[in-house]
Structure 1
Amino acid sequence: MEKTNLIMLPGLLNDANLFAHQAGGLANLVAVTVGDLTRSDSIAALAADVLAQAPAGPFMLLGMSMGGYVAFEIMRQAGERVRALALLSTTARPDTPEATAGREELIKLSETDFPAVIEKLLARMAHPDHANTPEVGGMFQSMATELGREVFVRQERAIIGRPDSRASLAAIRCPTLVICGEQDQLTPPEVHEEIVEGIPGAQLVRIEECGHLSPLEQPEKVTTLVHDWLYELLGSPERSPN
C-alpha cells in the first residue's frame, strides 16, 4: 500500500538535517520529504515553491518556525490538499516592529560578520542547556553556515513580510497538532495557545526543557508525539518508534 506523503518545512537557516530524527522515526508510517525554503523572499512565494515541489495529490504538512508561516500560507493557497497539519515552534502573528528592527540589525551585521549572526540566533533559539551541544548548537551552526548569508537575507525578508495568519485559523479544518517548547523565547507557549484556540479541534503539547529548536533539542519526544498522532490518524498497524 502506498504511503501518505508528509512534507516537512524547516525554520530559518535550517535544512533537512533539522528533521533527521523525525524522518527516520516516521518512515514506517509516511513518505517524508523536506521542502526547500531557500529560493524566495516572501512567504507566498515560498509556499508556491513548496507546492511546486510537492508530490501529486493530498499530503500531510509539518512546519517549524518559519516553516509554520509557510504552512499557514499553504493552507490558504491549497488547503484542500492538506490532510493533516503539525505546527512546531511557530506563531500566527505578524512580525512586530521591534522584531523587524532586530532582523534588520542582523541583516546589516551579516554583511561583515555572518558567523556572529549565527551565534546570536543560536543564543535566542536554543535552551541554555542545549546551545553548546554538538546535537543542537553544532548542528544549527553547520546548517546555517552551509546555507549562507544570501539564504539568510531572503528568509529574513520573507519573515519580516509575513501576513497575520490569525484571521485564517478558523478556516483550517484538518486535524492539527501544535507542539511548543516550554522555554521557547522566540515563540512562547502563549502564541501556540492562540493557534490552538483559533483552529477547531487542534491539540497542544508543551515540552519541558526545550527552547525553539524542538526537533533537535528533544528529538525523541517530538518524533514520538508526531508518530503517535499520525498512527491515530492513519490507523496504521505499525508501532511507536520508542
Structure 2
Amino acid sequence: MKPKILLLPGLLNDASLFTEQMVALSALGSVQVGDLTRSDSIGELAADVLAGAPDGRLVLVGLSMGGYVAFEIMRTAPQRVAALVLMDTTARPDTPEASALREELIKLAETDLEAVTERLLARLSHPDLMNQPAVRGVIQSMASGLGKEVFIRQQRAIMSRPDSRPTLAGIACPTLVICGREDQITPPEMAEEIAAGIKHAELKIIEQCGHLSTLDQPEQVSNLLLEWIKALK
C-alpha cells in the first residue's frame, strides 16, 4: 500500500519549508502538510492535524515545532502512525531562558515581525547558506505570509509544550531522527537523546546544515527521506 505522508512544519513555517521534499516524496504516495497555525497549545495543534489528516496510518514527519506536535500525536493517537521522522527537534520542554526570549520576541512581533525574522534567521540556517534566496527568501516569505498572530499562537504553544522524554520509550513504530550538524536551536545532542530513547531509532546527522535542514540541504534531506520511507516494511 502506498504511504500517506504527513509533514508538520516549524514555527512561522508553511508548506514552502518542504517544497523539494514534497516533489521527491510524491513518487511514493500521497503527501500533505499539516496546518499548525490555528491553536495555541500543542495538544490542540495535534488535534487540528489529526482532524485534517487523511484516513488510515500515516508516515508522520515533524520538523522543530512539528516534532513537538508529532510527540503529542504519538501519546494520544499512536495507532494512526505507521512510521515517524523527527527532524531538528527536541524532546525537552522549554527552558525558562528560552521562554523569556520568546516573550521578548512576541513583544517585538506586535510592532515589527520583520525584525523578529531577522533576529531568528542567523539561528535558523547555516551561516554559509543563510543569505541564499532559497533560504533567506523562503524564511521571510513564510513569516510575512503567516503573520504576527500565528507567530504569537505558535510561540505560546511551544512555551507550554510538555516534556516528551518520559514517553520516548513508548514509541514502537520505525523512527528516523535527523539533525543538521550546525543546528543552533536543537543541536545534535538533542537528536542523540531522542534516538537513544526510542527503541531501534535511526539517527542521521547532516553536514553543513543548520536548523531548517529541508532548506539548507534540501537534496540530502529528500534523498534520506525517500530511501528510508521506501525501505519501510
TM-score w.r.t. length of structure 1 = 0.95
Give yes or no for the alignment of 1:221 onto 2:207: no
Per the alignment, residue 14 of structure 1 pairs with: 13
Q: How many residues align?
A: 233
Q: For residues 11-67 of structure 1, what are the alpha-carbon distances to aligned partners after superposition, in whole Å with 9 as ceiling and x for unaligned? A: 000000100100100111121000000000000000000000011111110000000
CA deviation after TM superposition for structure 1 residue 130, in Å: 1.3
CA deviation after TM superposition for structure 1 residue 142, in Å: 0.4
Equivalent position SS for 2:111: coil
Equivalent position SS for 1:63: strand
- Quick one: distance in 2 between partners of 1:82 and 1:112? 40
Give yes or no for the alignment of 1:104 onto 2:103: yes
- Quick one: distance in 1 between partners of 2:95 and 2:10? 18
Q: For residues 223-242 of structure 1, what are the structure 2 equivalents within 5 Å? A: 223-234=222-233
Q: For residues 84-136 of structure 1, what are the alpha-carbon distances to aligned partners after superposition, in whole Å with 9 as ceiling and x for unaligned? A: 00010000000000000000000011112111001111111111111111001
Q: CA RMSD in A?
A: 0.7
- Quick one: distance in 2 between partners of 1:28 and 1:131? 29
- Quick one: distance in 2 between partners of 1:125 and 1:57? 33
Q: For residues 157-236 of structure 1, what are the structure 2 equivalents within 5 Å? A: 157-234=156-233
Q: Which runs of 5+ in 1 are unaligned?
A: 235-242
Equivalent position SS for 1:12: coil
Per the alignment, residue 82 of structure 2 pairs with: 83
Identity of aligned residues (%): 64
CA deviation after TM superposition for structure 1 residue 3, in Å: 2.3
The one-letter amino acid of 1:160's match is M
- Quick one: distance in 2 between partners of 1:200 and 1:150? 38
The one-letter amino acid of 1:151's match is V
Q: Which runs of 5+ in 2 are unaligned?
A: none
- Quick one: distance in 1 between partners of 2:43 and 2:29? 26
Per the alignment, residue 24 of structure 1 pairs with: 23
The one-letter amino acid of 2:123's match is R
